Amino acid sequence: MAIRELVYLGDERLRQRAIKILQVTPELTKLAADMLETMRYHDGVGLAGPQIGVMRRIFVAEIPEPEPDSDGTPHPYAGVSFVLINPEIVKQSRDLLEATEGCLSIPAWSGCVERAEWVEIKALNLEGQSFQMRAEGFLARVFLHELDHLNGALYVDHITDYQKLWNAEDEVRNGENPSHDP
Ligand code: NI
Residue 134: the pLDDT is 97
68-97 pLDDT, tens per residue?
A: 666 777 778 888 999 999 999 999 999 999
143 CA → ligand 1 middle, Å: 10
Distance from the CA of 34 to the center of ligand 1, in angstroms? 16
pLDDT digit string (tens) for 131-168? Answer: 999 999 999 999 999 999 999 999 999 998 999 999 98
Q: pLDDT class for 181, splitting at 50, 70, 90?
A: very low
pLDDT at 76: 81
Average pLDDT, the chain: 92
Compute the distance from residue 54 Cα to the ligand 1 centre, in Å: 14
**130 alpha carbon – ligand 1 mean position (Å):** 24
What single string gives the DSSP state of each residue in 145-182?
Answer: HHHHHHTT--GGGG---GGGEEEHHHHHHHT-------
- Predicted pLDDT at 69: 67
Confidence (pLDDT) at 116: 98
pLDDT higher than threshold 50 for residue 180: no
Which ranges of the chain does DSSP label H, i.e. alpha helix? 26-41, 137-150, 168-174
| Catalytic residue (choose from 146, 169, 171, 176) | 146
Region for 36 from its dihedrals, namely left if φ exceeds 0, alpha if ψ lies in -120 to 50, beta otherwise: alpha
Mark whether 62 is an active-site residue.
no
pTM above 0.85, yes or no: yes
* Residues contacting 137, CB < 8 A, separation 6+: 75, 97, 117, 118
Ligand 1 centroid–CA 106 distance in Å is: 8
Q: Please tell me the number of Cα atoms within 13 Å of 66 on its side-chain side.
A: 10
Residue 47, C-beta contacts closer than 8 angstroms, at least 6 positions apart: 35, 36, 38, 39, 59, 60, 61, 104, 146
Query: Which pLDDT band holds residue 171 (cuts at 50, 70, 90)?
Result: low
Question: For residue 176, what pLDDT band results from cuts at 50, 70 and 90?
Answer: low
Per cent of the chain over pLDDT 70 is: 91
When pLDDT is averaged across residues 109-129 and rounded to a whole number, the result is 97
Residue 139 CA to ligand 1 center (angstroms) comes to: 13
Whether the CB-CB separation of 7 and 14 falls below 8 Å is answered with yes
The per-residue pLDDT for 169 is 79
